[in-house]
Structure 1
Amino acid sequence: MFRELLFNLCLLISVHYLLRFTFRSWPVSTRGWSHVARLAAFSAAALTLMFFPAHLAPGIQVDLRAVPIAFVTLQFGPVAGLMVALPLLIYRVWLGGIGVYAAIPSLLSVILITSLVRRVVPPMGPLFWKHWPSIILMFLLNGVPVLFLPDGVRLFVQIYPLLLLLSVAGALAGWGILSERFHVLRLTSQWQSAALTDPLTGLGNRRQFDQDLTAMGSGDALLLVDIDHFKRVNDTFGHQAGDEVLQEVARLLEREGRGRDRAYRYGGEEFALILRNVQVGSLIRVAERLRSGVAALPLASIRGSVTVSLGGVQWAALMPEQLIERADQALYAAKRSGRNQACIWGPWLAQDHQPATETLPPSTTTT
């Protein structure tokens, strides 16, 4: 029996090594078909362990199936744990034998206790093994229902200590493999985020903007936003005040975004926004709302306010370079009109680079 359970332990560690590849990104998604497939993989892993059990007595078999179930419960909650356990319970009932009366309550007890301690044991943390007392608690009742079977005391003494020991050892080893996977995914996500994020404003940087620009499609629009006379702010109030202005403008742009809209620090004092599903007639109203919102920002460090000029363009099966060029033309037209203006690209800009009155709001005071 010891040899069979030792083989089951080795199999448990092996399937956890394979299960690590079901986690491919951070944070771990708990929605969609990928999550369903992951839960199915854990259920299949637990079933595999049931195919190689240690036979304690006729109709009574022992294995480490509870370890993957405990992990799913710990990670995704009791509902996910029950979903993964359901095929195991059905299979165990189909196998029959007197042991089914101990197997079902044992597995359910693992789900119940794990649900109670899941806030204490973080399996995603690299130091989760420090919570080994809670891990022991998860499997404490696993196998106890054997006591209620015929000759239960003898069977309990024969199997319970070994089952508890190997379950905890399997959890520490198997979950350690998954924990390392989470650690790598977390670090990779942090590095990718740092590489694609502007450190001052927290917005996407130029690299992120270039990536997202290629994914624009029908109904999307691009806005370029430039802070008027920003050099004057730096020269008059200092670079710290200039940084505050950049941060406050960035917060407003991010706050005003809807759902899939995204703001970027395009470079220096210039920002960009990719707007999703914007009607052609609504783009100028969006730009005007942003312009007036920036003008109303309370900026204590410069004892006043700043304004921005905006240039926008609607996506029309254009190459990224063409989108940026047209948005730039609209932005420069807004600046030539006196700044603190919003201008949306039109064919007239490609001809003479002069703004058309129907695409511009009423003139306002510049900074």
Structure 2
Amino acid sequence: MVKVIVLNLSLLIALMYGLSLTYVHPRQFLRQQKLDAHWLLLSLAPILLMNFPITLSEGVFIDLRAVPVVLMALRFSPEWLVAGLLPAIMYRVALGGPGVMTGTISLIGVALVGQWLRQQPEVRQQALTYQVPLRKVLLALVPNALLLPLHSQDLTLYLTVYLPLLALCALAYVIAAMMLHNRYRLLHLFRLYEEQAHQDVLSTLPNRRQFDLDLHQLAPDDVLCLIDIDHFKVVNDRYGHQVGDEVLKGVAEAIASCLRRHDRAYRHGGEEFAAIFRNAAQADPWTLGERIRKKVGALHFSELGGAGVTVSVGIARANFESPDACFQQVDQNMYAAKQRGRNCTVASQALTPSAPPALSPEPEPYDRSSVPVSQE
């Protein structure tokens, strides 16, 4: 009997490990459950466990089928629970024997109590990441094998079987829930560290590392833009780095507000930002750059006494022979904007990096409300 118990428990652990591997992103734990690999594995688990039972008498046997049924009842809506439970019930009926009725009722009882627990908002939230406390799950496990006395006049046998089975199911649930919850934590931490590795802490924009990755995914219809804050060193020297940080955050928000959902802004480094406009074939690059320049120019910082800052913008369509060539051209455009007196946009729509940039119209007069500085 011990060998069969170990085999049943080992099979359940293997199934739960396989179930944990079907989760590849933490959002999969939190989304509305539907027909997918998670549901399919939980539906098949009771059937597989019934193939390695602990036989008590002819046609009467016990196993750990209640554990996946509980997990399914806690996570899925009634219709999906019924769809997943029916194959297990039909298989138990097909196995036959005098215990078929009590076995079927036990499965239904476990599912009903599990669904009742799921109606509690706290339990439903905990079930998403497999954190329902054992004391609550025990309520759902109680109906399992509760009707065994109908097939045995020996009450001692019943007590020596039912209570150990309840304890074994509780142990199996703890192991299964721990494996699945640890999978969630692992994926959550992995995504968190991945985001932190590709996100600038100050501006919360994607950082240079993410920009380098996205740069090599440029399509010909995309537009690449570089933005540099004019005379930012003077802001830091005159007002301090804390004020400089506030300016950087304000500029980052202004740039991000000029983008569509599928566009992306980056902090490229220091006072330099970047932006990629996706699928912008119908847009004029210079107009896109001017939108950013004017948005930033409209900012007023209380830390600067109500003054603002200006930016120099270089921009070009990404229809160059390579992403690196496009970046080089945009970088040249940005420095051309600096040489023209700052606070302007230089755009290029050249098809090759050797073609000279098409300069934007003359910049607007320098905004005297910005930080007064001397030319560097």
Q: TM-score, normalised by structure 2?
A: 0.80
Letter in 1 for 2:364: S
- Secondary structure, in 3 states, of the residue corresponding to 1:98? helix
Give the counterpart letter for 1:193 in structure 2.
E
User: Alpha-carbon deviation of 1:263?
Assistant: 1.5
User: Once the 2 structures are TM-superposed, how far is the Cα of residue 168 of structure 1 from its aligned partner?
Assistant: 1.1
Tell me if structure 1 keeps the 8 A contact 2:102–2:148: no
Tell me which residue corresponds to 2:17.
17
- Which position in structure 2 is the counterpart of 1:85? 85
Can you list the C-alpha shifts for 1:124-166, whole angstroms capped at 9, x where unaligned? Answer: 879x58x33223234233344x379677996975654233211
Q: Mind listing any 5+ residue stretches in structure 2 that lack a counterpart?
A: 371-376
1:183-222 alignment, distance < 5 Å: 183-222=185-224
**Amino acid of the structure 2 residue aligned with 1:314:** R
Once the 2 structures are TM-superposed, how far is the Cα of residue 350 of structure 1 from its aligned partner?
Answer: 4.4
Tell me what 1:331 maps to.
Answer: 334
Residues 334 and 345, structure 2, Cα contact 8 Å, conserved in 1: yes
Q: Tell me how far apart the structure 1 counterparts of residues 230 and 72 of structure 2 sit (CA, whole Å).
A: 54
1:347 is matched with 350
Cα offset, 1:191, TM superposition: 2.3
Residue equivalent to 1:70: 70
Distance 2:184 2:88 in 1: 27
| 1:251 positional shift | 2.3
- The equivalent of 1:106 in structure 2 is 109
**What do the CA deviations read for 1:215-255 (whole angstroms, capped 9, x no partner)?**
22243222111112211211221111100011112223334
CA 1:83/1:192 → structure 2, altered by over 3 Å: closer, same or farther? Answer: farther
| Separation in structure 2 between the aligned mates of residue 282 and residue 83 of structure 1, nearest angstrom | 54
Confirm or deny: 8 A CA contact 1:61 1:99 kept in the other structure: no
Partner of 2:228: helix, strand, or coil?
A: strand
Q: Is the 8 A contact 2:317 2:349 kept in 1?
A: no
CA 1:283/1:68 → structure 2, altered by over 3 Å: closer, same or farther? farther
The answer (yes or no) to whether the contact 1:294–1:306 under 8 Å persists in 2 is yes
What are the ranges of 5 or more consecutive residues in structure 1 without an aligned counterpart?
none
Q: Which amino acid aligns with 1:207?
A: R
Q: Distance in 1 between matches of 2:14 and 2:325?
A: 52
8 Å contact from structure 1 (residues 288, 342) kept in 2: yes
The equivalent position to 1:182 in structure 2, one of 181, 184, 187, is: 184
Structure 2: distance between partners of 1:181 and 1:192: 16
Kindly indicate whether residue 317 of structure 2 is the aligned counterpart of residue 314 of structure 1.
Answer: yes
Displacement of 1:7 after TM fit? 3.1
Are residues 200 and 295 of structure 1, via their aligned partners in 2, closer, same or farther at CA, if it must alter by over 3 Å? same
User: Amino acid of the residue matched to residue 366 of structure 2?
Assistant: T
- The alpha-carbon distance between structure 1 residues 74 and 323, as it changes in their structure 2 partners (threshold 3 A), is farther
Q: How do 1:1-367 residues align onto structure 2 when only pairs under 5 Å count?
A: 4-28=4-28, 36-56=36-56, 59-74=59-74, 81-96=81-96, 97-99=100-102, 101-116=104-119, 119-120=122-123, 122=126, 128=131, 131-144=133-146, 146=147, 157=159, 159-303=161-305, 304-316=307-319, 318-347=321-350, 350-353=354-357, 355-357=359-361, 363-366=364-367, 367=370
The CA distance in 2 between the partners of 1:26 and 1:36, in whole Å, is: 15
Distance 1:30 1:186, change over 3 A: closer
CA deviation after TM superposition for structure 1 residue 270, in Å: 0.6
Deviations 1:151-191 (A, max 9, x none): 79969756542332111100111222223333332332222
Cα distance in 2, alignment partners of residues 248 and 152 from structure 1: 79
Output the TM-score relative to the length of structure 1: 0.82
Query: What amino acid sits opposite 1:323 in the alignment?
Result: C
1:84-125: per-residue Cα shift (whole Å, max 9, x none)? Answer: 434334433444532454144124225314413573474687
Whether the 8 Å CA contact 1:47–1:65 is kept in 2: the answer is: yes
* % same residue: 34
| In structure 2, distance between residues paired with 1:246 and 1:116 | 47
> SS in structure 2 opposite 1:28?
helix
Are the aligned partners of 1:60 and 1:99 in contact in 2 as well (CA < 8 Å)? no
Residues 8 and 53 in structure 1, CA contact (< 8 A), matched pair in contact too: yes
Deviations 1:58-89 (A, max 9, x none): 55543222323433554566665555434334
| Counterpart residue identity of residue 161, structure 1 | L
